[in-house]
A and B are shown apart, each in its own frame.
Chain A
Amino acid sequence: MILGLEYAFMRHAVFAGSAIALVSAPMGYFVLLRRQAFAAHALSHVGFAGAAGAILLSLSPYLGLFAFTLASAVGLALLGSRVGERDVGIGMVLMFALGLGVLFLNLYTANAAAAIGILFGSIVGISSTQMWLSAGVALGVLVVLALIYRPLRLASLDQDAARGRGVPVGALGVVFVLLLALAVSISVPVIGALLIFSLLIGPPAAARVLARSVEGGLLLAALIGLAETWGGIAASYYIGYPASTWIAGISFLIYLLAAWGGPRLRPRAAR
């Protein structure tokens, strides 16, 4: 069978990886539009600290992940919308969380492998519980995202116009960051806190250059994300080396190709 799908761990990897790719693509597209990449980066590291803390207390790392990322998401959302101010606040939260993360690791030296797993992901080490949890959370995030889609799209493109039409821009921002916290939380154990951008930012960044409508960008980002995940797992299975490395590498390559080729694909006649 292809991809080693006869093994349960490979089925889990493909299924959970696909779910995470599918939720990361649209979330990441909005993260780019809203210029919140730094917030996404911080959330993944906050998630690392949460997971390390949970491991220390012999709890499921997911408990720590969700608790830490959701709590700091509320904090981040309250920082306001001005990018400069926001980035300073995010930097502070990130710094504090990483300090805690180091402490937790320091207190719990017995299992360094668990820490490595959180930092770099272990896509082929996913249990079936983890797989269903990831898929369920991904589905939930996608449903809420679809429900707030139109106001979110307008608020991300033109905040003033959205306010003028009565869109609750502030509340929408809070909901979006909470969704982002959930999406990041399920991605961290699978793709890794340090490699979160390979599915969250890489595919939307490439899609943004190639697609000229928001919906086209979302669809393309999802396709690229799936291709990267499957390609990464396949390469890891057939060739070797960690799947996270392959996914990040493919993500980088696709972005380079898109950034280089995208402008050249555009029809020039319209100019």
Chain B
Amino acid sequence: MTKWAIEAHALGCRLGARPVFSQLDLAVPRGALVGVLGPNGAGKTTLLRCLLGLARRTEGRLEVLGRDPGAVRASIGYVSQGEPPEMSLHLSAVASVAAAFQGERWGFPLHRRRERNHALEALEAAEAGALAQRPLGELSGGQRQRVRIAQALVNAPQLLLLDEPLASLDQGGQQAVLRLAKRLCLDRGITVLMSAHDLNPLLEYIDLVLYMANGQGRLGSVDDVVREDVLSALYGLPMRATRVDGRIFVHPDRGFIPELTDCCPHCEGCK
């Protein structure tokens, strides 16, 4: 077993003709909590899909859990952006988690008790054990997010990829998800990659930050990456990282951040 959960060298990915990112070097140790930050369209979602083997890497080298991405899918838990479909809101949390248990296998699940027990365990692990019997439609956004994380945990993953899990959560909900992610790293040795828009809620939890902008990315500790010279090189314009009361605000030296890329590949407008 290698020391690294994710190892990439000069990794690049294209969607159609458009290069999303290139020359990405990553070395993420097992059990680390990594915040993936950057503006819209910087390639955060594409990177997560690349790690799952869903977006094809077009250049460089990439090993996930010591193997080719795609070969280790069974050990990766993935929570995409978004909400459960409207028609499933009558299902209980435990039923929706149970549906993910070995969901890639064919056939009808004959051991429903086992499926259910795994789902209950995953809900406990996601600090959502008390919600097991509640219908999804009655849960708050934060509770629903924890149920979705339980869904990703039900197959005992070694790597957890969370795409914007904090979006549309209030502060309390964000803290609960972050604490949960941290505990999964510490107690279970799971490596967690979490994309986010705002660095500040993550500051006290993450071990590493991967900052992506302008088709490039830098991985390192917050102090090594969120620096004016590094960010300026990434964005290709003079950037400032202002620290106030233990919070960090990244902004351009003057004025607004221009549209860095033409369009984000996953937003509704461009599909």
Contacts and interface: CB of A to CB of B under 8 A. Distances in A.
Interface of A: 32-35, 82, 146-151, 153-154, 156-158, 160-167, 208-209, 211-216, 266, 270-271
Interface string B73-105: 110101110101111101110111011101111
B85 A33 contact: yes
Nearest to A205: B87
Nearest to B102: A150
B269 to A, nearest CB: 13
Interface stretch (B131-139, B168-176, B199-207): B131-139
Contacts of B112: 215
Contacts of A34: 87
Nearest to B135: A212
Interface on chain A toward B: helix, strand, loop, or mixed SS? helix
Contacts of B256: none
Given A147-B107, A148-B106, A151-B103, A212 B87 contact: no
Contacts of B85: 33, 35, 156-158
Contacts of A32: 87
Interface residues of B, number: 43
A212 B92 contact: yes
Given A82-B271, A161-B152, A212 B90 contact: yes
Contact of B82 (A160, A167, A209, A266): A160
Nearest to A33: B87
Given A160-B82, A166-B73, A150 B103 contact: yes
Contacts of A151: 103-106
Contacts of B95: 212-214, 216
A160 to B, nearest CB: 3
A158 B92 contact: no
Contacts of B271: 82
A35 B106 contact: no
Contacts of B108: 146-147, 149-150
B182 to A, nearest CB: 22
Contacts of A161: 78-80, 100, 103, 151-152
B109 A150 contact: yes
Nearest to A163: B54
Contacts of A266: 135
Given A158-B151, A160-B82, A146 B107 contact: yes
